[in-house]
Structure 1
Amino acid sequence: MQKNMNYSRAFLAVLLRDLHVAVRHRNDIFNPLLFFILVIVLFPLAIGPEPQTLSKIAPGCIWVAALLSSMLSLERLFKADHLDGSLEQMLLSPHPLTLLVSAKVIAHWILTGVPLIIIAPLLALLLHLEPHSYSALLLTLALGTPILSLLGAIGAALTVGLSKGGVLLSLLILPLYIPVLIFSTSAIEAASMNLVYNGQLAIIGAMLITSLILAPFAIGASLRVSIN
């Protein structure tokens, strides 16, 4: 019982620390969100204001923008801790490394994924998304954005020791993001045609569960390889 309490305290300490640091460095919060907004706003300007055209491309536009915006802050997920020595202390901590990195990933999702989920329905109005597609949009974002943070953290852990690992990070994680992109946009498109999209949601949910189970171990192993 005491051990479980210690684990909970360590988890909350890492989570609250990352949230507190992000509040002090607000660019980490606003830059991905501003990028997401700009991408969505630029599509109607580039393609034209025709509602039918925008409605067709809306699912892909929203999810591509969400995918790219989530990548903006990934490189800094472990970089600051590596530079100030906190990462080495985390590796030497008696608490499970999987627990600590899970707290950091959850903090990243709260700071980057949750704002996207909140603002996406408003921006979808600019793309004339079908009204009955909004539930599918919110569900796919709620299930898919945590996967982006979990998989992205693996790439961030692998490149944490590199001075300029942004390009390599993108090359590593973009192939992993493609299934999430495909099934999420497919679910929204199915909803726009009044079709059942439970199958796509089930697949995304399965990917989320798999990522929640396996990604922390992969992140921990990647950090040990990168630091050592």
Structure 2
Amino acid sequence: MSDIPLAEEQLLRSRQLVSPGVWAGFLATLRRDTIIAFRHRGEMMNPLVFFLMVITMVPLGISPERIILATLAPGMIWVVALLATLLSLDSLFRSDFEDGTLEQLLMSPQPLYFQVLAKVAVHWLVTGLPLTLMAPLLGVMLSLPAAGFVPLCYTLLLGTASLSLIGAIGAALTVALRKGGLLLSLVIMPLYVPVLIFGASAVNNGIEGFPIGGQLAVLGAFLAMAIVLAPMAAAGALRIGING
């Protein structure tokens, strides 16, 4: 009888040795999703092409006047960046749901919070970061004043990360729906409004010579709250969508 607890203890220790640590699981998911993203370069380029095409058409559809374009540039760049981020959100969990990987993640001993956080990080790396790097070039196309370039990059760097995190909640809620793209937009767009307001406001303040520290602080607070709360909410939505 004394051998039974000993066998159970050995089994428990073997499971602990086999099961990777939390950060090892996070890095494994990060590496896997990054490789998959670069294998599908066409899907990865869609938000960037959309961003470029819309900004290119603004002078053609509104006016080529530099004064008008400079006035519209901060809000226009932010709105198009928001829509480009939204364009790629539907696929955040979709492929994993269709091939059964998402169910394996739900049954994994690894915390789902960190798995979701890794997926969102990859989404930002292949969508939000390239949009941020491309924004100054598009700012030149829209005659953005020189004083607005640094605030534009700072706000997009903070804001696109928040957009990816908040968007993960909507992607998780609609992952089990066959055509959830429209519903995803309806759910997420109201949550994007504060990020859009403070991001565009910071760029306008920078152009006019006013301090932008307040807006950057608010965007940083949004990002900190999103890092803590959004993966938790997305993980709960995934469990409800898959098991419910």
TM-score if structure 1 supplies the norm length?
0.97
**SS of structure 2 residue aligned to 1:152:** helix
State the percentage of identical aligned residues. Answer: 51
Deviations 1:74-115 (A, max 9, x none): 111101100110000000000100010000000000010111
Alpha-carbon deviation of 1:23?
1.1
Q: Is 1:26 equivalent to 2:44 in the alignment?
A: no
SS in 1 for 2:89: coil
C-alpha separation in 2, matches of 1:8 and 1:89? 18
Pair 1:144–1:62, CA change in 2 (3 A): same
Which residue identity is paired with 2:222? M
- 1:179-194 counterparts in 2 under 5 A? 179-194=194-209
Q: 2:125 pairs with 73, 94, 110, which one? A: 110
Are positions 1:78 and 2:123 aligned together?
no
> Counterpart in 2 of 1:148?
163
Output the CA distance in 1 between the equivalents of 2:105 and 2:88.
Answer: 20
> Over aligned residues, Cα RMSD in angstroms?
1.3
Partner of 1:213: 228
Q: Match for residue 202 of structure 1?
A: 217
Mapped to 1, the partners of 2:164 and 2:207 lie a distance apart of 27
1:172 matched residue in structure 2: 187
Amino acid at match of 1:163: R
2:10: which partner in 1?
none
> What residue ranges of structure 2 are gaps of 5+ in the alignment?
1-16
TM alignment of 1:1-12, pairs within 5 A: 6-12=21-27
- 1:3 CA displacement: 10
How many pairs were matched up?
227
Q: Partner amino acid for 1:208? A: L
Moved over 4 A (4+): 2-5
How far is the alpha carbon of 1:4 from its aligned partner? 11
In the TM superposition, what is the alpha-carbon distance from 1:29 to its structure 2 partner? Answer: 1.0
| TM-score, with structure 2 as normaliser | 0.91
CA distance in 1, matches of 2:20, 2:220: 29
Q: Summarize the alignment of residues 82-97 of structure 1 with structure 2, pairs less than 5 Å apart.
A: 82-97=97-112
What is the distance in 1 between the residues matched to 2:198 and 2:181? 26
The 2-side partners of 1:4 and 1:50 are apart by 61
